[in-house]
Amino acid sequence: MPKKKQQIIDSEHPMERKISLKKMSDITWRIFRIMSEFVEGFQFLSDFRKEVTIFGSARLAPESKWCKEAEKLGELLAKGGYTVITGGGPGIMQAANKGAYKISPHKSVGLNIQLPKEQRINPYVGHGKGFYYFFTRKVMLAASAQAYIYFPGGFGTLDEMSEIITLIQTGKMQKTPVIIVGKDYYTPLVEWMKQTMGQEHKTINPKDINLFHLVDTAEEVMKYVRKSKERTIF
């Protein structure tokens, strides 16, 4: 029997069809689960106004300089009527939630990730929502904020920062304040962007550096936040 014809017959074996149908069923239900997370996430966020999203390392200790500054910022934002949104975890996230929680639990929101054996959510989240998929959570963290704040952090913080700047740079998102906190921490990165990316290799427009602001204090952050305009999810 010709090899090609044999392959066709093999592919029509009842067991193979059963496996194929199971795979399709698994994919379909996964798509429904993803859709459900998006719908529930947007519905959850629709209850809040004047959102400001804060990113930063989960590894920094509460007594660290930047956690203290994040806590101060969370408090200033809540006093100003803003809703503080974080990833709901420890470190910078917990500090920002703590500051907001002291003013009003309703102003402290955490969008955490569901891990196999736990939900990593800090005790200062007044309203929390857990997500199974990292990418749906990431969309929710960016969905409707009117300002994005980035404290010192690792790869995750840099990833989230780069994506927001890229969306603004390419016109896929309206111009929104992107505020980077920590001159000692971020200046080497910003200088690399200016020199290596902007001037030497020209992989970015030198003007793209103006898409974000580098500051050092919670008070400086507030100057930019107060100038921001409230955004809606759609």
**What's the rounded mean pLDDT across residues 8-21?**
57
CATH number, residue 91? 3.40.50.450
Q: How many domains does one find in the chain?
A: 2
The 10s digit of each residue's pLDDT in 188-223 is 999 999 999 999 999 999 999 999 999 999 999 999
pLDDT digits (tens, 9 = 90+) for 105-136: 999 999 998 776 555 799 999 999 999 888 99
Cα–Cα distance measured from residue 99 to residue 101, given in angstroms and rounded to the nearest whole number: 6
- The per-residue pLDDT for 118 is 52
Q: Are β-strands 118-119 and 148-150 bridged in parallel, bridged antiparallel, or unpaired?
A: unpaired
Nearest in space to 128 (alpha carbons), one of 189, 44, 18, 10: 44
Q: Which residue range(s) make up the domain with 3?
A: 1-45
Instruction: Output the pLDDT for position 114.
Output: 77
Residue 232 belongs to a domain: no
Same domain, 96 and 178: yes
Examine residue 233 and state whether it is found in any structural domain, yes or no: no
Q: Cβ–Cβ contacts within 10 Å for residue 132, how many?
A: 13
Is pLDDT above 50 for 6? no
Specify whether 70 is located in the same domain as 160: yes
Per the CB < 8 A criterion, the answer to whether 182 and 216 are in contact is yes
Asked whether residue 1 carries a pLDDT value surpassing 60, the answer given is no
Residues 28 and 75 in one domain: no
| pLDDT tens-digit map of 57-74 | 999 999 999 999 999 999
Q: Tokens at residue 147, please?
A: 């300002």
